[in-house]
């Protein structure tokens, strides 16, 4: 009974009506009046709170006001972060390409070149095969590839379609050869004996990609030419060009000398590299 009585008292308190009156302070005239209960006040307050919270969430989620709340990143900051991400990725690719480029130059300087061994028996067997027994009919894929290549060559206007027959190498110095090009002994150059301080000339138009002192070969300068050709000049007394300089064929780039631990006297150690492979300079240049 006591519990029921308490529940009734609590319900009466919630439903008990109150009158909210607004009076004029000077004349005590009643300007506004409203009947309320505690339950009405609770319901209206709850609804107002819910609407306020919902409106605040929408303002934060769908307007630019969220930028002023800690923990939310601004639109400009996100845009800049995206741009920096792409720039970083591009820089990383450039660094990787430069590392590969410098690694190939290092192999040229140190003479680290792997030789290819051929199986003599397999070559002889291949030469004895009768051509009439081989099916030389082109496949469908081969025909399609030939058409694509023909069209590319027909409409290609770049330098790759030009003939390399006009590419002439200029002798860097004139003198007698003391040591020839020898792959077996890993001597990928010709040594030309000349007087000290003889001008060393660029063998072709190109760009200086290396111009420094080395312990074993003294002053070294390396030029990069067109057609993927690289020329190397070692044991110089001094260098007249720096890395990044553009040179013309026949332009003086160094003076011969006797520098470095591996030298045996005043001479020029001259190397030619094409697509990463050593080339005998005597086949293309007359040093006499």
Q: What is the pLDDT of residues 245-257, one digit of tens each?
A: 999 999 999 999 9
Which CATH entry fits the domain spanning 176-283: 2.60.40.1180, 2.170.120.12, 3.20.20.140, 2.70.70.10?
2.70.70.10
Distance CA 158, CA 6 (A): 99
Domain ranges for the chain, please list them: 2-62, 75-112, 176-283
Q: Six-digit token pair at 139?
A: 């496949």
Render pLDDT for 224-240 as a digit per residue (tens, 0 to 9): 998 889 999 999 999 99
Tokens describing residue 102: 């410098």
| CA–CA dist 37, 49 (Å, integer) | 18
* Mean per-residue pLDDT of the chain: 81
For 190-207, write each residue's pLDDT tens digit.
999 999 999 999 999 999
Mean pLDDT, residues 139-151:
75
Percent of the chain with pLDDT strictly greater than 90 = 28
Q: How large is the average pLDDT for residues 178-190?
A: 90
Which pLDDT score is estimated for 74?
65
The alpha carbon of 90 is separated from its chain's Cα centroid by a whole number of angstroms, namely 5
pTM beyond 0.75: the answer is no
């Amino acid at each position: 009974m006591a519990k029921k009585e308490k529940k009734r008292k609590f319900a009466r308190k919630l439903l008990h009506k109150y009158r909210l009156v607004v009076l004029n302070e000077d004349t005590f005239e009643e300007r506004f009046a409203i009947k309320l209960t505690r339950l009405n006040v609770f319901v209206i307050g709850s609804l107002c709170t819910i609407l306020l919270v919902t409106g605040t969430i929408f303002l934060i989620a769908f307007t630019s006001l969220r930028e002023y709340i800690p923990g939310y990143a601004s639109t400009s900051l996100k845009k800049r972060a995206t741009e920096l991400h792409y720039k970083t990725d591009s820089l990383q690719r450039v660094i990787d390409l430069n590392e590969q480029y410098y690694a190939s130059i290092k192999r040229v300087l140190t003479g680290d070149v792997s030789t290819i061994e051929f199986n003599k028996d397999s070559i002889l067997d291949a030469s004895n095969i009768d051509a009439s027994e081989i099916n030389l009919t082109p496949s469908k894929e081969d025909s399609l590839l030939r058409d694509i290549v023909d069209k590319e060559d027909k409409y290609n206007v770049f330098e790759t379609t030009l003939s390399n027959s006009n590419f002439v190498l200029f002798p860097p110095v004139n003198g007698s050869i003391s040591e020839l090009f020898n792959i077996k002994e890993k001597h990928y150059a010709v040594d030309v004996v000349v007087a000290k301080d003889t001008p060393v000339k660029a063998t072709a138009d190109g760009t200086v990609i290396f111009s420094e002192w080395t312990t074993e070969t003294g002053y070294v300068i390396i030029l990069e030419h067109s057609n993927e050709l690289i020329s190397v000049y070692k044991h110089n007394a001094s260098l007249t060009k720096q890395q990044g300089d553009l040179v013309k064929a026949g332009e003086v780039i160094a003076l011969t000398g006797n520098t470095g631990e591996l030298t045996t006297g005043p001479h020029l150690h001259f190397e030619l590299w094409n697509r990463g492979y050593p080339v005998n300079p005597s086949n293309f240049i007359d040093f006499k």
